Structure 1
């Protein structure tokens, strides 16, 4: 029997597919080690409001294929103040909770450091379709989001109005273009515009799009990250204003929340299971301030400093592959 007390598992921030599989793995791995798991409702707020209850293997049965997070989730901003964190810790101590597994994005994992400062052992699981967390090759939920994006783009391409059109499709990615480049690769896009590479010359970009049209293509598909500058609206307006010069008829689509929904892919179910199980193992081994990560097809753990204090850099090989296969 491990000296570890009970574990709390919480999902914080916006939801995405794959979270339920991770929670399921946490509960069942802990159960196999004789450790109890408390599920925390509605993100960090659940610690403060004492909305925590024991999860059994039966409670997570059938959840692996469900979308979203059955515990509920919420953004962490302004929830954990200096006063409220003391309330949260007090409620944890009442339930003999000594370890916390946090499933969430960059902001949520950053916030979890407040628990570490109070002496709690914390292990993070990267879960965000922004895919902006360093230290891991991919975050939980990204593969499902890419599949959702591809399905939407396939429908756009197949519509009766898709001939002789320039399509601009905006996907998530405030500061990191990982989701955009992955989606561009698998959807056969012609251009991919990401935050890391803002447009320096809109005229040059427009000219390149027109050149693709002259190659005999009756569609030109561009995928943009939300954080790309100057932005989808500005690019749309510029193309419309120069339509007489380029003969490009532009239509734009912002996919929004449709990227997050739906049942998780098989890949995200496997990834969530691996990460959830590894997180429990890390706590049992007495580790804290670490994030479970996928690195070269191996599940490892990295220090928070490596994951949260570094800026994620997109693999340049992805861009090389994209440019090579779009000709």
Structure 2
């Protein structure tokens, strides 16, 4: 199936008052699991590659992008391809050259004025080339090894009035907001501020994005979508499933006195574990 533009998947979900899940791709097995999980549930999904993942692949976007794109195009599910948490302008430009139709430009760690200026420039550049651009306002935390942030810390959560001004001044197509989740959580214990989500939904004219969704329990995710979230980002949950399956295989292998060296033996259960995780989240999101 041809790739479906991220903006189109988001618009369809928003019109139906539902959400689209966006899963982070690190390896080929991640991409295959996302496609398989979407096919299993009959739901659309977005394959997204972060700047961290590109760095892991030697700083070269082309190979992992080609792999993810090939998996998505070979799937029977409606899938999009998105570049996530881009800080580098060079990578932003490379994304367009590699055929990405959407990108999340991340200037959230900069002071507010610098964030607005840098994001507005990225949006102008992207829109001139037909790209859909997401950005972030507030501090979600847990990215690049930083500790999770207490959602009650002043200045952490996204302010609706500031969000409205930010969207107007930057022209972004979607806004990732801080409402109680954090990146890289391995336990699903986050509590979201659903009143704030609804206030943000009413304050800004663009779709809202929830980052750090791996740490959010199923009922909280459903409530977040009902309150106004449209794009749900999931990454760590796939890595947890992957690593858990590999560890279980190797532990059982050692207990049996074996010494498997063929990675396919443990990558198969790892990929299947991720597929199950993808299918679970897609089912939760309806």
TM-score interval w.r.t. the shorter chain?
Answer: 0.3 to 0.5
Tell me which structure has the larger Cα radius of gyration.
1
Per the normalisation by structure 2, the TM-score is 0.32
Would you tell me which structure has more strand in proportion to its own residues? 1
Q: Which has the higher contact order (CA 8 A, sep 6+)?
A: 1
Per the normalisation by structure 1, the TM-score is 0.29
Would you tell me which structure has more helix in proportion to its own residues? 2
